[in-house]
Structure 1
């Protein structure tokens, strides 16, 4: 996830079928945790 062209969070996921994904890992940059970035990127993938 980028805000003002700076990466704030990232997510690692794989497609496991036509209608299934596995979200393996989310990571939010230090100082940005607790601001909803992780929840936003999971929501975008789902």
Structure 2
């Protein structure tokens, strides 16, 4: 997830069939904890 062209959070996932995904990692850059970036990227993937 980028804000003003700066990466704030990252997520990795794999497809597990036609209708499932596995989110295997989320990461929020230091200084961005508690701002909801992790929740936002999970919601976008799901």
Q: Same fold (TM over 0.5)?
A: yes
> How is 1:1-12 mapped onto 2 (pairs within 5 angstroms)?
1-12=1-12
Where in structure 2 are there 5+ consecutive unaligned residues?
none
The TM-score normalised by the length of structure 1 is 0.98
| Cα distance in 1, alignment partners of residues 8 and 34 from structure 2 | 12
Counting matched residue pairs gives 46
> Please, what is the CA RMSD of the aligned residues?
0.3
Larger strand fraction of residues: 1
| Cα distance in 2, alignment partners of residues 6 and 31 from structure 1 | 13
Where in structure 1 are there 5+ consecutive unaligned residues?
none
The TM-score normalised by the length of structure 2 is 0.98
